Amino acid sequence: MRMSKIVRTSADLLYPFILIFGLYVVLHGHLTPGGGFQGGAVIATSVVLVIVAWSYEDILAMLRKVVYKAQESAGLILFIGTGAAALLIGFPFFYNFLANSGLLFGMPAPPGPNPGELNTAGVIPVMNIAVGIEVWGGLAIIVLCMLSSLARERT
C-alpha cells in the first residue's frame, strides 16, 4: 500500500535534509542542546518517513534489516569499547582520556561562555556518535519488524 506520488516524492526530498539535521545534532552534542539519543531519534524519523510513504515491498528493496541490526550492535560495541579503552591505558572505566590531550577531539575548551570549538571534549563526541548510531539502527529496526508482521497479516 503506497501513498500518493506527491507524498513519496516529498519523503524522498526530505530524507537527506532530516539526515543532515540529525547528524548535526549528534556531532554538536557537546556544544549545543542535544546529543546521541536525540540526534539518533531525529535520524530514525527520516527512515520512518520513507517507510511510511512507500510500501513494505518497496522498502525491502531500498533498506536492508541486516544493515540496521549491524548498526545497532556496532553502536553499542563502540560505546562500551570507548569506555573500556580507558582501562587499557591505565585509567578507571569511562575516564575521559582524550580530553585536553591534543589528540582527536583533544583541544582544551576556552574558559567562560563561548560559541565552542568542535574539536574538544575528548571521548564525549565519540560516545555521542556511538549512541547516535545505536539509536538510529534500533528505532529503524523496531519499525521495520512491526511493519513486517503487519504485511504478513494482510496477505
Partner 1 sequence: MKRTISALVLLVIGIALLAIPVLLTFGSPLMSDMDDYFIAHGQAETAANNIVTSVVFDFRGFDTLGESVVLFTAVVGVGLMFRTLRAGEEYEDE
Q: From residue 65, how far is each of 8, 101, 129 by CA, in Å?
A: 21, 39, 20
Q: Residues 5, 121, 136, 154: which binds partner 1 (CB under 8 A)? A: 121
Query: Among candidates 80, 89, 9, 85, which has minimal Cα distance to 50?
Result: 9
Rounded to an integer, what distance in angstroms lies between the CA atom of residue 99 and that of residue 121? 5
For partner 1, which is the closer residue by CB, 14 or 27?
Answer: 27
Contact 60, 154 (CB under 8 A): no
**Dihedral sign of CA atoms 62, 65, 68, 74 in order:** negative
Q: Which is nearer to partner 1, 22 or 35 (CB)?
A: 35
101-120 residues in contact with partner 1 (CB under 8 A) are: 106-109, 111, 114, 116, 120
Q: Check residue 30 for interaction with partner 1 (CB under 8 A).
A: yes
Rounded Cα distance, 17 and 128, in Å: 20
Q: Which of these ranges, 8-16, 17-25, 49-57, 100-108, lies near partner 1 under the rule CB under 8 A? A: 100-108
DSSP state of 26: H
Binding span for partner 1 by CB under 8 A among 5-13, 14-22, 52-60, 93-101 = 93-101
Q: Report how many residues bind partner 1 under the rule CB under 8 A.
A: 45
* Among 62, 64, 87, 93, interactor with partner 1 by CB under 8 A: 93
User: Which of 42, 43, 50, 131 forms a contact with partner 1 (CB under 8 A)?
Assistant: 131
Residue placing its CB nearer to partner 1 in the complex, 18 or 141: 141
